[in-house]
């Protein structure tokens, strides 16, 4: 097991950032720490890196006690949201930094920097300064710099958070492919559930300083432990007292299925291929959101004012809406 975290607590003044966190991160995998801002995921990552110290608890990296080691002795690669590029050094010098600190022979440093710049497709930019690169290029440089020292674990703190949507998507695919090539144990923090679902082998959902659930993307999506996880991994709506995904609701224009909820379409919004309906059920006040494909909506002929019957899709996963409140109470 690559990283073992036991009983970690961390407070910033009155604010509880992490509360009794136990977590084991397996070797060679890409693990996502997913959760809302301020939930403690970045703090956990920084504790693994040694950039923050836990109030209590321990951190083991590859079986070695690392709780009290300074960051430079942990052999971790860290990639920051805002790149943390060394502004006064060229791209090649940035990548070479860790190797030069380790006093590797010049020829080896040169060869290794060359390899890494090829890996991140920045060879022709090696003599530029970071200010002359785009955000995506800077982040690729930061990744090469972190990988140069052959870290035991690679830690990425919201690595694509400062990039625009298109570059973010490209880099995400690229990170996945890179990981399949390099196989270094990688932990990345994100608040974007799509990013986590797409890239990670395993997702750790963190909220309010606690771990809500650990599992593969499919496990989390198909069997969320509670309404928080369900809500965080994608859009949800409430139907008959249960949380359900809006696209898991069957809509029909006549009463067919037993127990279907009758309601009136009060809003209709088309976004590309999607049609989002807001339905006001006849028997409750809570509106239900439903998502249909454009063609399906057209075939049904629904519009604002139509009467529809809603029922959970077969195979839809549902979570009782009050599970969290009940557990807390």
- Which positions lie near other proteins, rule CB under 8 A? 49-51, 70-72, 74-78, 80, 82, 84-88, 97-98, 101-102, 142, 145-146, 148-149
CB of 173 to other proteins, least distance (A): 25
In terms of Cα–Cα distance, which of 115, 86, 82, 87 is closest to 101? 86
77 vs 246, beta carbon nearer other proteins: 77
For every residue of 213-232, DSSP letters joined together read EEE-HHHHHHS-SSHHHHHH
CB of 104 to other proteins, least distance (A): 11
159 vs 312, beta carbon nearer other proteins: 159
Structure tokens at 210: 């606690």
CB of 267 to other proteins, least distance (A): 41
d(CA 46, CA 33): 12
72 vs 253, beta carbon nearer other proteins: 72
71 vs 215, beta carbon nearer other proteins: 71
Structure tokens at 268: 């209709």
Contact between 129 and 122 (Cβ < 8 Å): no
CB of 70 to other proteins, least distance (A): 7
CB of 153 to other proteins, least distance (A): 11
The strand pair at 76-79 and 153-157 is best described as parallel
What contacts 192, CB < 8 A, 6 or more positions away? none
131 vs 327, beta carbon nearer other proteins: 131
């Amino acid at each position: 097991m690559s990283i073992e975290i036991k009983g970690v607590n961390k407070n910033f003044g009155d604010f509880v950032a992490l509360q009794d966190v136990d977590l084991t991160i397996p070797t060679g995998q890409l693990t996502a720490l997913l959760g809302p801002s301020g939930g403690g995921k970045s703090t956990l990552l920084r504790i693994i890196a040694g950039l923050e110290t836990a109030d209590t608890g321990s951190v083991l990296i590859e079986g070695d006690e690392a709780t009290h080691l300074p960051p430079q002795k942990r052999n971790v690669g860290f990639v920051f949201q805002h790149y943390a590029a060394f502004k006064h050094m060229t791209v090649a010098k940035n990548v070479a930094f860790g190797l030069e600190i380790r006093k590797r022979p010049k020829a080896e440093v040169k060869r290794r920097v060359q390899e890494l710049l090829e890996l991140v497709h920045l060879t022709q930019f090696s003599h530029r300064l970071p200010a002359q690169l785009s955000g995506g290029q800077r982040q690729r440089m930061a990744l090469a710099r972190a990988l140069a020292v052959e870290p035991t674990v690679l830690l990425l703190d919201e690595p694509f958070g400062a990039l625009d949507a298109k570059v973010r998507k490209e880099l995400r695919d690229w990170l996945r492919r890179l990981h399949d090539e390099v196989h270094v144990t990688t932990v990345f923090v994100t608040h974007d559930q799509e990013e986590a679902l797409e890239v990670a082998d395993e997702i750790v959902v963190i909220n309010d300083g606690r771990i809500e659930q650990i599992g593969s993307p499919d496990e989390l999506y198909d069997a969320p432990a509670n309404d928080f996880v369900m809500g965080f991994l994608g859009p949800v709506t409430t139907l008959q007292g249960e949380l359900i995904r809006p696209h898991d609701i069957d809509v029909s224009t006549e009463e067919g299925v037993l127990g279907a909820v009758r309601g009136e379409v009060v809003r209709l919004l088309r976004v590309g291929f999607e049609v989002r309906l807001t339905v006001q059920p006849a028997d409750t006040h809570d509106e239900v959101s439903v998502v249909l494909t454009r063609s399906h909506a057209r075939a049904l002929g629904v519009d604002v004012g139509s009467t529809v019957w809603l029922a959970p899709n077969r195979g839809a996963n549902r979570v009782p809406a009050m599970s969290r409140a009940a557990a807390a109470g």
